[in-house]
Chain A
């Protein structure tokens, strides 16, 4: 693909600049210079300006990026320069795919998404939504792959909350994929097809509000679909936004929380969508609750690996290494409960700590008074 001015701007600024290296989680898992923003930009300069082919090791460096945006948060020239390593890496991945150079594991995930609507070739009958009854309703709850296949208890908790609050809601039977993962892997055309199919299913429900659990899916709605020419005539909220609406609307009665609670920010909700305060407002709606911040929070959060495709440490990254950094900070902060905003965060963090790690939906559900 021809490099655009936007990507070239990032390459030229970042290729020899080491200033954000302390923020990059992939470097501190792999310890390789090629797994830094500087390293990736330098390698891509050689491809796009030096005319080198994508070597296997360069391809690997692109897929080792967690696309977490930490480098953008820590770049003091970003505001003026607009440098965007995650977008650059996604551009490179699309080019790698176009050239037929995607690693086998990436091709396998793509095939799984196309056939099974999930990344791990799980049979659709294993999904929470495989047996739900789909109907027309005001509110559609969109689970995302992680909740649908691996953490159905979160779905059950949210459905219980919706029932408690008397919300007219529905779920999509055998929920289709959003296309977000395909786009992150470099398959934009496939992603667009998936996205269009999902939108058609959503519109068939007649819903006016879509409540999304997965930060990746939320980001697709907020930042990708419009760019792809796909529109949805409904408001899209993250579950934390909807929970706050229910709480502030008096639909949920809250019990006191007798624990010290911290929040693990989500990179796709926070860094890419500015959703920092609402999850905190949900937690702090409980009265009393002892809320503590970890050393790193908001834009300077430690990455949870939402786009790392870790799969229990079998694919690109070691998710537990990311989780351990967060759980260590939570313990230092004196937290007893870590509230998370994605199942990836839950999986990575809970594997490394004896602290209780709960999704924000589970947290609320555990602490509401049933009317």
Chain B
């Protein structure tokens, strides 16, 4: 919308918003607008980076509002509907898909004031929490009492719980404990038209469709989740890790699949492609090996973990793995966040993207090959690496990445190249049985491909969206919904 600051309507809206949350919690400062115009998506970063040598601009919010609770959110959304102003939720700003970018201006609704831990129920093993809490803060409080959500992604230190819900986040312990959607017991949600609802107290009912599922992964397009009750677990008595190198990725994939299908219940399996073993494992962990590097881990009672480790080792040995011992595995665990810090993480001027996808065990190798072929054959300036870090009973997630060290200097050409790689790689993945994304979400980055993924079923999603958000104010431009 971008209302001119000189317009009296700007003052009128500003007054209404300040009346809800208080003057100090509405910002129209240029510095705030600037920092909310860049999340962890390469595109706005690149545009910000090149501000000194190009005239490409970034969409900015008009108002940044910090609500304290669902009631505040409700009032803000009612105002937004009255004036048909876009509303985009912002948590930790660590999303890689541009999901939190205010691409059509309007209101940024920063959720971080909603950071209260309401209740830790040690009998039911749940925690009720405001969705604006930085996940690490929640974990630290739980750990003091001997608990954890066991949701442990690389973004744990910077993402909010609400951000995880918005894009169906996955942590490194997902193979045993599931994705964020598996941990949700119930939620408080503010609908786009301002009604505050609560989903059923427990998720496993036979009372019709699960309303949680409309809002999980919806990236703030269907409403704002303001509170959530999550499952928690006791901290394990022990954790054990072991690292192996397999001669090739195919062997590693087979080992991973066997660790799951033989019901050993690993908490962690991470398998790195030959390229990523050479490039990333060496850089971060200092381990220099040829082949596919794998770390697996188990947690729980020591006797049980010992037994699980014994059976896992039998599988790895039977597939000819080179046993690197426990230390490299523990080293990975202790450095699991380090991968995402500079100077270890890819960064500008490089052009890069995480092509994470998920497919069945029958398809996952083909998905990997298809993506790798597309990137390497059609885009010789790019290289492709990948690892497999979330394993389900039926399949596994591929965390593919492309990296271009010297992208085009012209930002428009750079965007075209970036988008072309995404389109071609993901279309190849979908043709081979994969999907657009496993845990980073869709956001702005993949919005254009969402109708293609869903096919005829996309109209159903659009109908739900239109019913809930008749004015189309919620996070326009994301998840394939466009604007209005």
Q: Do A and B bind each other?
A: yes
Give the B-binding residues of A (Cβ under 8 A). 12-22, 27, 31-34, 36, 38-39, 42-43, 45-46, 49-51, 55, 57-58, 60-61, 74-77, 80-81, 83, 295, 332
25 CB-based A-B contacts, threshold 8 Å: A16-B38, A16-B347, A18-B92, A18-B94, A18-B155, A18-B158, A19-B157, A19-B341, A22-B158, A32-B32, A33-B35, A33-B93, A34-B29, A34-B31, A42-B38, A43-B35, A49-B52, A50-B51, A51-B52, A55-B30, A57-B31, A77-B341, A80-B344, A81-B342, A332-B144
Q: What is the minimal beta-carbon distance from B167 to any residue of chain A, in angstroms?
A: 15
User: Chain A contacts of B34 at CB under 8 A?
Assistant: 34, 42-43, 46
Q: A16-B38, A20-B157, A42-B34 are known contacts; what are 5 more A-B pairs with Cβ within 8 Å?
A: A18-B93, A21-B158, A34-B34, A45-B49, A295-B140
Q: Which 8 A-B pairs have the closest CB atoms?
A: A77-B341, A57-B29, A57-B31, A18-B158, A13-B342, A33-B35, A39-B35, A50-B51
In angstroms, Cα B14 to Cα A50, docked, is 29
- Looking at chain A's contact residues, is the secondary structure mostly helix, strand, loop, or mixed? helix
Given contacts A22-B158, A51-B52, contact A31 B66 (CB under 8 A): yes
Given contacts A74-B157, A83-B342, contact A19 B337 (CB under 8 A): yes
Give the A-binding residues of B (Cβ under 8 A). 25, 27, 29-32, 34-36, 38, 40, 45, 48-49, 51-52, 64, 66, 90, 92-94, 110, 112-113, 134, 136-137, 140, 144, 155, 157-158, 335, 337-338, 340-345, 347-348
User: Chain B contacts of A12 at CB under 8 A?
Assistant: 347-348
The answer on a CB contact under 8 Å between B25 and A31 is yes
The answer on a CB contact under 8 Å between B158 and A19 is yes
The answer on a CB contact under 8 Å between B342 and A14 is yes
User: Chain B contacts of A295 at CB under 8 A?
Assistant: 140, 144
Q: Which of B32, B48, B144 contacts A45 (CB 8 A)?
A: B48
Given contacts A19-B157, A42-B48, contact A76 B337 (CB under 8 A): yes
Q: What is the minimal beta-carbon distance from A326 to any residue of chain B, in angstroms?
A: 14
User: Chain A contacts of B340 at CB under 8 A?
Assistant: 19
Chain B residue nearest in CB terms to A332 = B144
The answer on a CB contact under 8 Å between A17 and B110 is no
B34, B90, B155, B337, most chain A CB atoms within 10 A:
B34
The answer on a CB contact under 8 Å between A77 and B38 is no
Given contacts A16-B45, A18-B158, A31-B113, contact A76 B338 (CB under 8 A): yes
Q: Which of A21, A34, A332 contacts B32 (CB 8 A)?
A: A34
In angstroms, Cα B341 to Cα A51, docked, is 27
User: Chain B contacts of A34 at CB under 8 A?
Assistant: 29, 31-32, 34-35
Q: What is the minimal beta-carbon distance from A16 to any residue of chain B, in angstroms?
A: 5
In angstroms, Cα B34 to Cα A57, docked, is 11
The answer on a CB contact under 8 Å between B94 and A22 is no
Given contacts A42-B48, A83-B342, contact A33 B110 (CB under 8 A): yes
In angstroms, Cα B94 to Cα A295, docked, is 26
The answer on a CB contact under 8 Å between A32 and B157 is no
Q: What is the minimal beta-carbon distance from B79 to any residue of chain A, in angstroms?
A: 20
User: Chain A contacts of B341 at CB under 8 A?
Assistant: 17, 19, 75-77
Q: What is the minimal beta-carbon distance from B36 to any residue of chain A, in angstroms?
A: 6
Q: What is the minimal beta-carbon distance from B180 to any residue of chain A, in angstroms?
A: 18
The answer on a CB contact under 8 Å between B31 and A21 is no
In angstroms, Cα B140 to Cα A20, docked, is 15
User: Chain B contacts of A77 at CB under 8 A?
Assistant: 338, 341-344
In angstroms, Cα B341 to Cα A38, docked, is 12
Q: Which of B31, B40, B136 contacts A58 (CB 8 A)?
A: B31
User: Chain B contacts of A14 at CB under 8 A?
Assistant: 342
User: Chain B contacts of A49 at CB under 8 A?
Assistant: 51-52
User: Chain B contacts of A18 at CB under 8 A?
Assistant: 40, 92-94, 155, 158
